[in-house]
Amino acid sequence: MHSEKQKHDFEPKIIAFVCTWCTYAGADLAGTSRMQYPANVRVLKFPCTGRIDPVFILKAFQQGADGVLVSGCHPGDCHYIAGNFHARRRFAAFRKLLEFIGVDLNRLQFSWVSAAEGGKWVEVVTDLTERVRAMGEMVEFKDLALEEQWSGSLNTPELQEAYDAI
């Protein structure tokens, strides 16, 4: 298990997008079981991996994440019947796009972690943190972040005007 006492030169920032039913609960289980893992990960909870827009992954990289984790229920166990299948299909295509724009795919991890797999959550987070630590800082997107700020809102007056004109 990773020792928290050990200090490194570079602490990667890891953002995890997880579904609330399986992986979030799995991470909770890791907590109640007092399993230890690196403190680099920040968890964002979604109802389902099907809700995770690939744009969020870009946004995370743009915002300074060095690694991104997407995790949900195992295939066939989706609380919403097939949301994780849609997510899997979407990300399979999205990986090619990321590769095309020059993001090292080793910075992006997809995994299935069930609510019973606290240990697997620790393993996945630890592995990704160590891998990204070895890769170093992700710089490519940080410059982009300075150029453009997307508010995430589509309700701008300009757009509304454009819509009304249609």
Partner 1 sequence: MSRIGVFVCHCGENISRTVDVEQVAAQAAKMPGVAFATDYKYMCSDPGQGLLKKAINEHRLTHVVVAACSPRMHERTFRKAVEQAGLNPFLCEMANIREHCSWVHEDRDEATRKATEIVGMLVERVKKNRVLPTITVPVTKRALVIGGGIAGIQAALDIADAGHQVVLVEREPSIGGHMAQLSETFPTLDCSQCIMTPKMVDVANHPNITMHTFSEIEQVDGYIGNFQVTIRKKARSVDEQKCTGCGVCMTKCPQKKIPNSFDRNLGMRTAIYVPFPQAVPNVPVIDRDNCSMFKSGKCGVCQKVCGPGAVDFEQEDRLVVEPVGAIVVATGFELYTIDKKPDDSAIVGYGEFGYGTIPDVIDGLTFERLASASGPTGGKILRPSDGKEPKQVVFIQCVGSRAREKGISYCSKICCMYTAKHTMLYHHKVHDGQAYVFFMDARVPGKNYDEFWRRAIEEEEAVYIRGMVSRLYQKGDKIVVMGSDIAVGVQVEVEADLVVLATAVMPRKGADTLAQKLGISYDKYHFYSEAHAKLKPVECATAGIYLSGACQGPKDIPDTVSQASAAAAKVMTLFAKDKLEREPIVAWVRESGCVGCFACKKVCAYGAVEEKEIRDRQGNLIKTVAYVNPGVCAGCGTCQATCPSKSVELDGYTDEQIVAMIEAL
CA distance 96 to 115: 29
Q: How far is the CB of 4 from partner 1 (least distance, A)?
A: 4
Applying CB under 8 A, among 8, 10, 63, 99 the residue interacting with partner 1 is 63
Q: Which is nearer to partner 1, 45 or 74 (CB)?
A: 45
SS3 content of the chain, % helix, strand, coil (to 5): 45, 15, 40
Q: Which is nearer to partner 1, 106 or 160 (CB)?
A: 160
43: nearest Cα among 73, 67, 14: 14
Tell me if 57 sits within 8 A of 68, measured CB to CB: yes
Applying CB under 8 A, among 22, 67, 73, 83 the residue interacting with partner 1 is 83
Among 57-65, 95-103, 106-114, 129-137, the segment contacting partner 1 (CB under 8 A): 57-65
User: Interface with partner 1 includes 94 (CB under 8 A)?
Assistant: no
User: Interface with partner 1 includes 44 (CB under 8 A)?
Assistant: yes
59: nearest Cα among 92, 97, 15: 15
DSSP state of 77: -
Tell me if 115 sits within 8 A of 29, measured CB to CB: yes
Residues that bind partner 1 (CB under 8 A): 4-5, 13, 15, 20, 24-25, 27-28, 30-32, 34-37, 39, 42-48, 50-54, 56, 59-60, 63-65, 79-83, 86-87, 90, 122, 150-154, 160, 163-164
